[in-house]
Chains A and B, each alone.
Chain A
Amino acid sequence: MNNTMKLLQVYIRSTFGLSVWKYRIHEKKGSKLKTMLYVLLGLCLIPNYYVFCKGIQFVYNITSPINQQSILLSFGIVGIILVLLIFGVMYVFSAFFSADDTELLMSYPVKPRSIVYAKTLNIVLIEYLFVIPLFLPLLIQFGINEQFSLMYIVNGLIIMLLLPVVPVAVCTMISLFFTRVFAGKLNKEKVQTILMCLILVGCLGLNYFISNSAQGSAGINEMEWMQNMVENNLFLAEGASAAYPIGLWATRALLNPATLNGLVNLLLFMGISVLILVCCVEVGSYFFTEAVLSGKGNNKRAKKLSVNDRRSFNRLAKPYLSVFQADLKTILRTPIYAFNTYGIVPILLICGGISMASMQMNFAQLELLYRRFVFSDAALACTGALIGGMAGITATAFSREGTSYWLSQTIPATGRDQLLGKSLSAYLLIGFIAITLSAMILLVGGSLYNIVIVNLLLLLISFPIITGQLLLDLYHPWLSWDDPAKAVKQNINVIIGMLATMVFIMLLCGIFYLLYLKLQWSYLAVLGLIAVICIGCGVLLYQWFCKVYNQRLLH
């Protein structure tokens, strides 16, 4: 246990950059500006957070009259667990198999179990960055509206701290098991991709199951369902937690904090969480040792160069295309990058499909919704651009290079080549989104005109977003990561890029609202103005990028 704690201490210092911060503050190396930036960023998040809290209050207000407010807690818990499962598996995999330290640690007199414990607990700590901001307002809102006793606060804090333990432990065990099973047969990137797909399918299935359970079991008629709701204040919560009973224990512990029932549920939640952690780590340690010691990661013999390989090698490509190809191959061959970028499209499609199925909507209803508003096309384009911007592909374009950044610094590539090359990966995602939106428009009875408008707007809105995010990453690339997951998951540029995207799209929506709905300009004139704004911003950012690139990489 001693070694586990020592390792964990090192991980915490490394992951959260504590030693670096301390050094910088001590050496006064631009720390004040950076700290100010972080504070400013925190302040920028307040409006979003306010909207989130209002949303929680809204859900409470509509579930309270039917005595089903407990669903707020169970949906919150299950939702957080699902997200942790989906995103956690990539993180866990990266921490164990892409991190630089794994093989080195195996040479130290440290038990593999200690390594697995330390890595798992470190990931749990990282997940607090996600869990606390989401769960705390839920806890506070519910407490304010129900009973804010000392026991409620204690129970709430314990639950919040233990919430990420089970998903992270399960992800750890599954990742290590898969790696062991496929060691020598598939390389770790392929294992990671297969695992990711399986987890995704599992989570989406779970989501579907939960949605159906929460809406009522099959075979129960509406009267029975209503009666159950009146009689049992946990009826919906039980449905939502059907696939994750531990969540129901947590909900019960929070609903009756000062009772024996609440205490039993809390103890059950705590006990099972710790038990699952211990079991998963113990089993995972065995697979981890076997997987690492087998040394069968990437050692397959390479095939000889074929005639086609040589032909392709000999084909002269423009520098920007070369930059794009290198960037795209890096994204596609690094599962954490692929999942965080292009993975978003199938996930949203499947989620949309599931939502439609569980809401029992059909295309005719969607068509009605689409035709109801004149500005549906503009809204679709904004949504597409928002999704593209949230993927943050260009916000990490230079950061993803890490220690190989020297190549970008020494190759004779112009700012234009780099901008085009590195932006094309993001435009490819926009292309996928455009195809998806076009298909959706056709399905809901839209015309070719609608498709052209949506795609043109999507492209124009994305232009400044993509260029701006690339500029942001050029200004401050994060290159000192030791695990590719950190380049995209712990990169402040992604958060700033997302925020900037949201602000930009909100501004465009504001302009649309003001000109079209308030001042009643013609629809096409407003779209034209938005197009001009986007092109103007994009061109300005492009010039800014080239200037900064010349200063920083070409001096």
Chain B
Amino acid sequence: MIQVENLTKAYEKSHKAVDNITFEVNKGEIFGFIGPNGAGKTTTIKMITGILKPDAGNVHICGVDLYHSPIEAKTHFAYVPDSPDIYKSLKGIEYLKFMADIYRVESSERNLCIEKYGKMFELEDALNAPIMSYSHGMQQKIVLMGALIHDPEVLILDEPMVGLDPQSAYNLKQLMRQRCEEGKSVFFSTHVLEVAEKFCNRIAIIKKGNIIAQGTLDALRNGQKSESLEEIFLELTQDE
């Protein structure tokens, strides 16, 4: 569903933020992307979502080249950034309408979406209020609802659990699992290693712009004495 090939980005000539990384997210897979601060996670996500142009490499979403057919590729995924910055003057319902119109969601599906996700994220009663009056967590939820409204095949999430209350975080994790069962994919970055360990089918660890390990948790354990993802992560990311 997501194919990343030799992706490279350098903000300065001497320093590559992302250096020739390659990975793939398969159908029905939850893919975790972890790494220390400044390792290149957000830069990678920005290149996968078309926010940043890479210096080299390709990204295919559902077989569509993101840089060759961006509009078509963008209809296949939804992105939720780490900070829920959206049009704060709009009401929740207006933002959802905006997203539904842009992604050409049929009228019949829109109400179902409000019913389902509004209930799931306990946001039904706040949809008629301006987003600027929402708490951080509520803003995160409305961005999630906007991302889910067109039922994308690929969900790309940057630190999605930040700001969510325990119930909503649990619901989101269930939703991620459910989507995978339906054959859709989820790519997400996180610092919460327990979540990655528990929910991801495969994990990639990025450090200083390079993917230093990727695979299933069992594959990552190979050759390492450690047992938990936390210990593997700390061992791999420790500076020599």
Instruction: Report yes or no: A406 in contact with B81, Cβ–Cβ below 8 A.
Output: yes
A421-B188 Cα distance, complex, nearest whole Å: 32
A299-B129 Cα distance, complex, nearest whole Å: 9
B120 CB–A CB distance under 8 Å: no
A13 CB–B CB distance under 8 Å: no
Instruction: Report yes or no: B86 in contact with A321, Cβ–Cβ below 8 A.
Output: no
- Given A300, A316, A333, A406, which contacts B51 in the complex, CB threshold below 8 Å? A406
Chain A 406-422 per-residue mask, 1 if CB under 8 angstroms from chain B, else 0? 11011111100000000
Chain B 63-89 per-residue mask, 1 if CB under 8 angstroms from chain A, else 0? 000110011101100010101011111
On chain B, the residues within 8 Å of A69 by CB distance are: none
B198 CB–A CB distance under 8 Å: no
On chain B, the residues within 8 Å of A330 by CB distance are: 87, 89-90
Instruction: Report yes or no: A326 in contact with B83, Cβ–Cβ below 8 A.
Output: no
Instruction: Report yes or no: A402 in contact with B85, Cβ–Cβ below 8 A.
Output: yes
Tell me, rounded to whole Å, the shortest Cβ–Cβ distance linking A457 to chain B: 34
Chain B 111-154 per-residue mask, 1 if CB under 8 angstroms from chain A, else 0? 10010000000001111111011000000000000000000000
A312-B49 Cα distance, complex, nearest whole Å: 30
- Given B70, B75, B128, B133, which contacts A554 in the complex, CB threshold below 8 Å? B70
The A324-341 residues at the B interface (CB cut-off 8 A) are 325-326, 329-330, 333-334
Interface size on B, residues (CB 8 A): 48
On chain A, the residues within 8 Å of B67 by CB distance are: 555
On chain A, the residues within 8 Å of B124 by CB distance are: 305
Instruction: Report yes or no: B97 in contact with A412, Cβ–Cβ below 8 A.
Output: no
A313-B90 Cα distance, complex, nearest whole Å: 13
- Given B99, B101, B111, which contacts A321 in the complex, CB threshold below 8 Å? B101
Instruction: Report yes or no: A326 in contact with B50, Cβ–Cβ below 8 A.
Output: no
On chain A, the residues within 8 Å of B126 by CB distance are: 302
Name A316's closest neighbour in chain B (CB-CB): B107
Instruction: Report yes or no: B70 in contact with A326, Cβ–Cβ below 8 A.
Output: no
Residues of B that sit less than 8 Å from A by CB: 49-51, 53, 66-67, 70-72, 74-75, 79, 81, 83, 85-91, 93-107, 110-111, 114, 124-130, 132-133
- Given B70, B81, B97, which contacts A313 in the complex, CB threshold below 8 Å? B97
Instruction: Report yes or no: A302 in contact with B128, Cβ–Cβ below 8 A.
Output: yes
On chain A, the residues within 8 Å of B51 by CB distance are: 406, 409-410
A518 CB–B CB distance under 8 Å: no
Given contacts A402-B85, A403-B83, contact A555 B70 (CB under 8 A): yes
Instruction: Report yes or no: A329 in contact with B71, Cβ–Cβ below 8 A.
Output: no
Name B129's closest neighbour in chain A (CB-CB): A302
A304 CB–B CB distance under 8 Å: yes
A300-B72 Cα distance, complex, nearest whole Å: 41
- Given A305, A414, A550, which contacts B127 in the complex, CB threshold below 8 Å? A305
Given contacts A302-B126, A554-B71, contact A404 B85 (CB under 8 A): yes
Instruction: Report yes or no: B101 in contact with A318, Cβ–Cβ below 8 A.
Output: yes
Instruction: Report yes or no: A314 in contact with B85, Cβ–Cβ below 8 A.
Output: no
Instruction: Report yes or no: B127 in contact with A316, Cβ–Cβ below 8 A.
Output: no
A309 CB–B CB distance under 8 Å: yes
On chain A, the residues within 8 Å of B85 by CB distance are: 402-404, 406
Given contacts A313-B96, A316-B107, A555-B70, contact A304 B128 (CB under 8 A): yes
Q: 25 A-B contacts, Cβ less than 8 Å apart?
A: A298-B132, A299-B133, A301-B129, A302-B133, A304-B128, A310-B114, A326-B95, A326-B98, A329-B90, A330-B90, A333-B89, A333-B130, A334-B89, A403-B85, A406-B51, A409-B49, A410-B50, A410-B79, A411-B103, A412-B75, A412-B103, A413-B71, A554-B50, A555-B50, A555-B67
A300-B129 Cα distance, complex, nearest whole Å: 8
Instruction: Report yes or no: B110 in contact with A314, Cβ–Cβ below 8 A.
Output: yes
Tell me, rounded to whole Å, the shortest Cβ–Cβ distance linking A308 to chain B: 11
Tell me, rounded to whole Å, the shortest Cβ–Cβ distance linking A396 to chain B: 14
Instruction: Report yes or no: B125 in contact with A322, Cβ–Cβ below 8 A.
Output: no
A319-B74 Cα distance, complex, nearest whole Å: 14
